[in-house]
Structure 1
Amino acid sequence: MIRLTNIQLPLDHDEQALSDAILKKLEITADQLIDFTVFRRGYDARKKNSINLIYTLDASTRQDDFLLEKFIADQLVKATPDMEYKFVAQAPENLSERPVVIGFGPCGLLAGLVLAQMGYKPLILERGKEVRERTKDTFGFWRKKVLNTESNVQFGEGGAGTFSDGKLYSQVKDPKHYSRKVLNEFVEAGAPDEILFVSKPHIGTFRLVSMVEKMRAKIIELGGEIRFSSRVDGVDIKNGQIRGVTLSTGEKIQSRHIAVAIGHSARDTFQLLLDNGVHIEAKPFSVGFRIEHQQSTIDKARFGRNAGNPILGAADYKLVHHCKNGRSVYSFCMCPGGTVVAATSEEGRVVTNGMSQYSRNERNANSAVVVGIDPSDYPGGPLAGLDFQRELESQAYVLGGENYDAPAQRVGDFLKGKPSENLGSVTPSYTPGIKLTDLSKALPDFCIEAIREAIPAFNRKINGFALDDAILTGVETRTSAPINIKRGDDFQSINTKGLFPAGEGAGYAGGIMSAAIDGIKIAEAMALSINKEF
């Protein structure tokens, strides 16, 4: 087959336009085209009142080889790559010790699934509950302010990505097409087929819940095992080799191949690993606020008269500003048509995040507006970033009234440096609730200075971004783990053999897709390591 990229057509094109575009590009007649499929569809909204759709198409013709030779110098006409996933190993018949995966978020889920598909019958340990029980606990916290520190937005089956927008795109390099493996598994588990071809696929929370359940069932059917409410409280490391773990139940599990896919909020596990000599380094991360606008404001700013077009859906944005004080401020985890949610996992702290459903039809758009920081901003040991996060989260808890309400402020008041006393046209979506206050007390001065400079700059790109009535809610602290559990080319810890640091919590991913891809890489590395010992 032949892959054609950058095929541009008007937003309102008819069905015949795609095949016509192929015929024109390849300079062939209709009888020479056998069929075609859409590999990817995106859009170019730089001219918001004249938006083009941009396609990548896979076409089958009666003379593929001839055409590929004819267009050999054209970078937009290439052979369709082989994107079928190929397993790197199969489990030996006399496998005596199961590989262990700690954590059942996107990274642990894909690591466990691929290990199971290769016959390794992995044991997966998850400190939180299965996804439906976890959902009840999470909604219970949002509605009644009763926090379960082991079952919440951060901990439980599906990981933090379950309560998010369900974005399935990433900027990581993917020469082996692992992302296609992830998308195919998600579709098989019930995700809509469109995630295979839209340029910015997403699923949403409710669909993720049922998908995770089906993928869990598949792992079990293949011989894997998942244990919930099984926090790892001890590790057995001798002579630089991991030998097993001890669970919160007191049970000891032996394994010389253990993946640590614990997410960015398992602070006690980070401490446990450090205390047992695992090499960990501090790394940069970001902190800031959630900002909310009416979704209609963003749609109009991005799409103009095309706002509301069902192909375009709810508009998103991606913004960055480099400030005079040397800091960078950027939008993060933008959730069109979504809500701001309470995301703490520790008592007496307030943390915000964003979430939306597949429909993206809630009234508001939200995203994080965050400032990049690095270890020089929080000097100390490898885990000093955790203390920095906790300090901000505790301060937000106090500013919010010490009842899990979040501190909030209208953008106009924030820019003027005065506390907010009333709401305007934008109704905050955060539950349990918000308390209007002065957010300048919620972050270090250099962060406040940078965000105050960035918001008007963002307004020049998204008209209405600096709207007086837009709402800021604090604080956003868990954009990523503030640590990196260093690993080598074999994906094992640089000083602990058999320990495979994985995903976002180890510093190797930043979202559902990149975490899932890392999970596949970890599964492959574990399988090859196990087989090498036989």
Structure 2
Amino acid sequence: MIRINQIKLPIDHTQGQLKNKIKKILKLRSDDFSYKILKKSIDARKKPELFYIYSVLVETDNETHLVGRLHNPSVMLYKENRYSLPESGENFLNSRPVIVGAGPAGLFCAYILSLKGFAPIVIERGSRVDKRKRDVENFWNTGILVPDSNVQFGEGGAGTFSDGKLNTSVKDPGGRNNFVLETFVKFGAKSDILYDNKPHIGTDILADVIVNMRKELENNGTTFMFDTLADGFEISDGRICSVNASGQKINTDICVLALGHSSRDTFYKLHDLGIDMQSKNFAVGFRVEHPQEMINEAMYGKNHDIKLPASPYKVTSNFPGGRGVYSFCMCPGGYVVNSSSGEGKTVVNGMSYSGRNGKNANSAIIVSVTDKDFGADDALAGIRFQEKLERKNYELGNGKIPQQLFGDFCQNTISTSFGNFNTQTKGKTVFAKLNGLMNDEMEKSFILGMQHFSHIVPGFDRKDAILSGMETRTSSPVRMIRNENLESNIRGMYPCGEGAGYAGGITSAAIDGIKVAEAIVKKYKPD
């Protein structure tokens, strides 16, 4: 197979032009070759003139000879790295593996185990997608929260109500990343996620993908227990021996803790149980909305007749004292959503549908938080810090999303109306003064960040940019310690995914779930 990098074509090119370009680069005389797209991205460095940049894989005759005579650094021989399942271990399990959590980490862990002949039990405190969607829509419309069936809890995890971004910074030579994307396509995602530079599914499609994946898992022997809380763990001689699931005792030698970052009650139980964990740094801030048209113009330039995808952006900066400010979970053409999961606490997130056709762009602009901000140095201090902010946030809006324009935030005054564009939210909103939620240093850093980002995205610090309070759950505030075999200090318990502090998004959580499944497979074989 031959890989060709840096194929540059006009933004309005056809697939025929791409094939002809490949033929020209390889100096082929016939069309007797096949290709597939490996990566595709937009090059806007010389805007308003835009290009697509491709990397492709080509199969043809005499590949080694062909590459050798071209002497082109963008053309090389390539061996595709396909994911392969590990060989099973020698130890028999006395009982079925239990996975706590049906988010990406738990689902992909269960998927690998099922492919190797295990029959895991997946315990999920929240509801199936269909009921969960009804509960979430009702919450957004009425403010009536179902504590265990909401944006955070339920089938698919928190990512089900998000933009469905699948890009990750995880470097994985074992092919797990591609395996995750291919699995999503198998269960209903569009195939362009396999090559888009910044792939996303969209919450509308992701929900169906998750259901299709669950159905195949059930056909392969996996049992799902929805609306079931893992509220107790029995330890004997330093090893897990059973899990209590809403009053039902399940004996097991293996318990995968694929918790989401919002499973705070379970974190407290595990801490009391004696599982090793430590606090870790995270970040908090506000969802910030801008007109998507403004972002498109900044990223693509003006006067484009060709319909282009809603543009994302990524901005980051550091200020004296080491306080970082950066964008997180940017949602092009998206909505700010009330993603609360606890009574008396309000937290927001961002969400996009697959078409990304909302009028606004939104992103969390967040400020780094360290243990110096927590006011304590124990493992759960970060959780208590988050909860304190969310209670204050709830009180500001009385359960609604509190909002303020950026210009008014800088002046420490409450907003009374929107500017030249309106908010796009899921959940009721109210104007409130967000000043004081963060400490003075964090607020100053946030304002400096907004002003600095205007040099990258003109208009980013516009006075009518809409702030929504408050994004606090950017990542887990704890990390559960695990050894080289991915076990905790309690044998048979495997911390996994975002809640355990080992992932930061759908794809990285899925990859970590795969890694934990591999560790179990290498040690055990199915009965």
> TM-score, structure 1 length as denominator?
0.95
The aligned residue for residue 303 of structure 1 is: 300
Distance 1:94-1:264 versus aligned 2 partners, 3 A rule:
closer
Check conservation: 1:131, 1:156, Cα contact below 8 A.
Answer: yes
Deviation at 1:31, TM superposition (A): 2.0
Distance 2:440 2:140 in 1: 30
Q: List runs of 5+ in structure 1 lacking aligned partners.
A: none
Which of 290, 295, 299 pairs up with 1:293? 290
Deviation at 1:75, TM superposition (A): 5.3
Which of 153, 156, 162 pairs up with 1:155? 153
Deviation at 1:223, TM superposition (A): 0.9
Which of 369, 372, 385 pairs up with 2:368? 372
Distance 1:68 1:355 in 2: 45
The aligned residue for residue 11 of structure 2 is: 11
Please tell me whether residue 206 in structure 1 is matched to residue 200 in structure 2: no
The aligned residue for residue 233 of structure 1 is: 231
Q: What letter corresponds to residue 372 of structure 2 in structure 1?
A: S
1:335-350 alignment runs, 5 A limit: 335-350=331-346
Bigger shift: 51-60 or 431-440? 431-440
Aligned length: 526
The aligned residue for residue 462 of structure 1 is: 457
The aligned residue for residue 403 of structure 2 is: 408
Report Cα offsets for 1:7-37 as digits up to 9, x if no partner: 22222234343233323433x2232751211
Q: What letter corresponds to residue 119 of structure 1 in structure 2?
A: G
Bigger shift: 413-422 or 466-475? 413-422
Bigger shift: 43-52 or 385-394? 43-52
Report Cα offsets for 1:355-395 as digits up to 9, x if no partner: 01001111111000000111222123100000000000000
Report Cα offsets for 1:165-214 as digits up to 9, x if no partner: 01111111111111111111111111111111211111111111111111
Please tell me whether residue 21 in structure 1 is matched to residue 21 in structure 2: yes
Distance 1:286 1:258 in 2: 29
Q: What letter corresponds to residue 512 of structure 2 in structure 1?
A: D
Distance 1:104-1:66 versus aligned 2 partners, 3 A rule:
same
Distance 2:202 2:31 in 1: 41
The aligned residue for residue 451 of structure 1 is: 446
Q: Secondary structure at the match of 2:447?
A: helix
Q: Secondary structure at the match of 2:379?
A: coil
Distance 1:432 1:387 in 2: 25
Check conservation: 1:204, 1:358, Cα contact below 8 A.
Answer: yes
The aligned residue for residue 49 of structure 1 is: 48
Q: What letter corresponds to residue 40 of structure 1 in structure 2?
A: K
Distance 1:308 1:146 in 2: 44
The aligned residue for residue 279 of structure 1 is: 276
Q: What letter corresponds to residue 163 of structure 2 in structure 1?
A: D
Q: Secondary structure at the match of 1:441?
A: coil
Please tell me whether residue 247 in structure 1 is matched to residue 245 in structure 2: yes
Distance 1:266 1:95 in 2: 28
Distance 1:439-1:38 versus aligned 2 partners, 3 A rule:
same
Which of 475, 478, 481 pairs up with 2:473? 478
The aligned residue for residue 516 of structure 1 is: 510
Check conservation: 2:282, 2:370, Cα contact below 8 A.
Answer: yes
Distance 1:262 1:308 in 2: 46
The aligned residue for residue 391 of structure 1 is: 388
Bigger shift: 205-214 or 413-422? 413-422
1:80-229 alignment runs, 5 A limit: 80-90=78-88, 96-229=94-227
The aligned residue for residue 265 of structure 1 is: 262
The aligned residue for residue 256 of structure 1 is: 253
Distance 2:56 2:373 in 1: 47
Q: Secondary structure at the match of 1:469?
A: coil
Distance 1:449-1:109 versus aligned 2 partners, 3 A rule:
same
Bigger shift: 435-444 or 342-351? 435-444
Check conservation: 2:136, 2:150, Cα contact below 8 A.
Answer: yes
The aligned residue for residue 31 of structure 1 is: 30
